[in-house]
Amino acid sequence: MKTDLPTQQSPSLADLNFDNRFVRELPADQNYSNHVRQVERACFSYVQPTPVVAPQLVAYSHEVATLLDLDQPTCESDLFVQVFAGNQLSPGMEPYACCYGGHQFGNWAGQLGDGRAINLGEIVNHLGARWALQLKGAGPTPYSRRADGLAVLRSSVREFLCSEAMHHLGVPTTRALSLILTGEQVTRDMFYDGHPKQEPGAVVCRVAPSFTRFGSFQIFTSRNEIDQLRQLVDYTICTDFSHLGEPSVVVYLKWFEEICRKTAAMIVHWMRVGFVHGVMNTDNMSILGLTIDYGPYGWLEDYNPDWTPNTTDAQGRRYRFGNQPQIALWNLAQLANAIYPLIEQTEPLEEALQLYGFCYKQGWQEMMAQKLGLKQFEPEYDLPLTAELEKVLLLVETDMTIFYRKLADLDLVDGQDNDNLLAPLLDAYYQPEELTEKNKQQICDWLRTYLKRVGQDGHRNVERRQQMNAVNPKYVLRNYLAQIAIDKSEAGDHSLVNDLLQVMRDPYAEQPENEEFAQKRPDWARHRAGCSMLSCSS
């Protein structure tokens, strides 16, 4: 495909080994014009990024640069900024946008696609690992519908930081290479309330082995384009699941089972760290079990299983924290329906969905044992223990992250009165004055049961603390922290974006010099825009 953006040599960028197997092996849209339309019988459309007037680097991830064989001088060069803002193409890039559909809030939405994402191509690094590079906010595509294909700094800061924070937390996720200002203004109505305003535009370069989604398969089945469905499934297996063998009905089923296992593992991690995705539509579910598409996500501040960060979901709360395991299963069932024409057997697909339930249950129990510092989860004792813990967390407004972190500080000492027993946990409560004597008694009853259970394991305090602090983070990307960074960045000061990136690189360490970033949400942020709930607006 001939490109019309300028190319330019660079010692490192020019050496990137672009493989671009996706566009080489899968069916392309034969219409090369960039206008909104229904794209049929194609996995993607060729499209060019829209050049911007004055790109400026805000931040980049050293770790992701290393994955791509890029060194520091290259990442801090003007050419890097021009390429990853969408102004230039490095040799080997073949930009395209993907076609996919999806269920949004439980309803089939038809064709969706990469409306503001443009893939630059896939590279193979010196270790043989495949990485797809994708610009988010680089202009319109045939899938942009009524939108402009752009992104603003506000959402771009959040996506850039959260992608990297999640990785360092140990959560399967797409990554982020760079965050670049465009030098242009973008009009957005943040809360869809008739008050649009101009905001600074930005582009994030996202990185993943693949950006294929559940909806990538659904769109073909919905249109009865079974040949294209088979092509995409076979490609995905050969490229991302080659260990399963050559595509066949048997391998299709093994593939779906692995997707179920990977998805279950991802959801367990979300529940472990208190992450709420906010938009678990099937087009936002990665075939690789990666967290993808950081829109109106959020972190549980006070523990509330019914909380959703998405204003669009405020009434139905479909994507609330406590419902994420069930929604993942529902989404997997839609994927099963999509690949059924290749298998034509219901029972093995249903068994795979049951496998998801088994893997999630087992993974959740193992995760809770780790969070509580237990050697292993003993259902007879630990199901009642965790059920009562949830009641305790709901008694008063309790910061989930701080509670689990401070729980490790409890000593296995008999005979403590309630006040002394509760003292290490006081920082976790937003309104300590609401701790009535009745509440204190219920919490301390649980703490004594918990400490007795820990004592039965024979764990010493130091061993238990090491185990718990390895899975219970001290630092998460709280919404109010991201919002302060956004406010400063919009004013031209990008230092906090980079400071947070640095802090989140080691979220389980104490980092005494960064204690301010471990504090619970301040009261001023309780209802402030960007600090609590967010909209689906860019």
Please check whether residue 475 lies inside any domain of the structure.
no
For residues 130 and 122, the answer to whether their CB atoms sit within 8 Å is yes
Residue 185 main-chain phi, psi, to 5 deg: -100, 145
Please check whether residue 359 lies inside any domain of the structure.
yes
324 and 384 inside one domain = no
Please check whether residue 240 lies inside any domain of the structure.
yes
Please check whether residue 423 lies inside any domain of the structure.
yes
Amino acid present at 479: N
- Segments of the chain with pLDDT less than 50: 1-2, 8-11, 538
pLDDT value at residue 7: 55
d(C-alpha 258, C-alpha 319), whole Å? 24
Please check whether residue 41 lies inside any domain of the structure.
yes
Please check whether residue 522 lies inside any domain of the structure.
no
Helices (H), 115-211: 153-169
pLDDT value at residue 323: 98
195 and 242 inside one domain = no
pLDDT value at residue 268: 98
64 and 197 inside one domain = yes
d(C-alpha 232, C-alpha 209), whole Å? 15
pLDDT value at residue 538: 46
DSSP string, 12-37: TGGG--B--HHHHHSPBPS--S-S--
C-alpha atoms less than 13 angstroms from C-alpha of 37 in its C-beta half-sphere = 13
29 and 129 inside one domain = yes
CA end-to-end span of the chain:
30
Listed residues 333, 351, 370: the one ending a domain: 370
302 and 398 inside one domain = no
Listed residues 458, 493, 509: the one ending a domain: 458
283 is catalytic: yes
- The rounded radius of gyration (Å) of the Cα atoms in the chain is 24
113 and 133 inside one domain = yes
d(C-alpha 364, C-alpha 361), whole Å? 5
d(C-alpha 401, C-alpha 419), whole Å? 21
Full residue range of the structural domain in which residue 400 is found: 374-458
296 and 240 inside one domain = yes
93 and 190 inside one domain = yes
Collapsing DSSP to helix, strand or coil, 134 comes out as: strand
Amino acid present at 428: A
pLDDT value at residue 3: 53
Listed residues 441, 458, 475: the one ending a domain: 458
163 and 293 inside one domain = no
Please check whether residue 95 lies inside any domain of the structure.
yes
Q: Residue 140: is it exposed, middle or buried by C-beta count within 10 angstroms (0-12/13-18/19+)? A: buried
Given the residues 29, 114, 234, 283, select the one marked as catalytic.
Answer: 283
Please check whether residue 223 lies inside any domain of the structure.
no
444 and 309 inside one domain = no
Collapsing DSSP to helix, strand or coil, 498 comes out as: helix
pLDDT value at residue 458: 84
190 and 85 inside one domain = yes
Across the chain, how many H-helices and E-strands are there?
17, 11
Which positions ≥6 away from 174 have C-beta within 8 Å? 163, 206, 207, 208, 211, 286, 290, 291, 292
Name the domain count of the chain.
3
Please give the helix or strand (H or E) that residue 502 lies within, else none.
Answer: helix 495-503
305 and 395 inside one domain = no
